[in-house]
Amino acid sequence: MRILIAEDDDVLADGLTRSLRHSGYAVDHVASGVEADSALSTQAFDLLILDLGLPRMPGLEVLKRLRTRGAMLPVLILTAADGVDERVKGLDLGADDYMAKPFALSELEARVRALVRRGAGGGATLTHHGPLAFDQVGRIAYLNEQMLDLSAREVGLLEILLTRTGRLVSKEQLVDHLCEWGEEVSNNAIEVYVHRLRKKIEVGGIRIATVRGLGYCLEKFQAAVAHD
């Protein structure tokens, strides 16, 4: 999952970026409202962490433009302005959550997890797919109750496919949601990640179908039927 942080405090932004990357998210950072608006207009993200006091364009204007374009990605507002009026304005413009500075990093990470789940259309922290279970809090996958040894990139890939079970996901979409700016990830690399993940989960009857030239689809799980 890919997160955009729009924050002009470099120290805070660096801390957030390191923490979220450690949790397995792809994270990009911009330091102005104009940069945030441009990135949101041209690229795909799963969550926006937005400071209201951005230079060159206020955070509320960034949020207003985002919602005017019809974008539905979750938005978590961070701001030093903790007045009721600021909260009301942000929520009325379409923010999903609000945190005042200073804040506890552990609480922010919990809210990020909740918003990412909400954006993916689910509220539970544990996603099941036949014998496969994915813990969105610990970012750990289990097959037949045994923990799978997955790389961070494989975890991200599995999470994306699980949130789109039964739907085609193109290689370009996978790159958009798995990779940060500056990362050189080719379609061939995506094929390698899918191949590695497929080998680890297909023993449990979990199938990732390849639609040649288009992308991949995590097939809906069908339990084997016993015959007499």
Domain borders along the chain are: 2-119, 126-218
Mean pLDDT, to the nearest integer, of 87-91? 80
The residue-averaged pLDDT of 22-49 equals 92
Both tokens of 210, joined, read 């390849």
Whole-model pTM: value is 0.68
CATH topology of domain 126-218: Arc Repressor Mutant, subunit A (1.10.10)
CATH homologous superfamily of 2-119 equals Response regulator (3.40.50.2300)
Cβ count within 10 A of residue 42: 7
Out of 3-17, 46-60, 70-84, 200-214, which region has the weakest mean confidence (pLDDT)? 70-84
Give the pair of three-digit tokens for residue 184.
């050189």
| Dihedral class, residue 27 (left if φ above 0, else alpha if ψ from -120 to 50, else beta) | beta
Chain-centre distance for alpha carbon 61: 23
What does the pLDDT read at residue 125?
66
Dist. CA 182–CA 170, nearest whole Å: 20
For the ranges 45-54, 85-94, 126-135, 197-206, which has the lowest average pLDDT?
85-94
Nearest to 206 by CA among 170, 169, 152, 166: 166
Cβ neighbors of 182 (< 8 A, separation 6 or more) are none
Domains 2-119 and 126-218 share a fold: no
pLDDT digits (tens, 9 = 90+) for 101-116: 888 888 998 899 888 8
Orientation angle between helical segments 187-201 and 171-178, nearest 10 degrees: 90
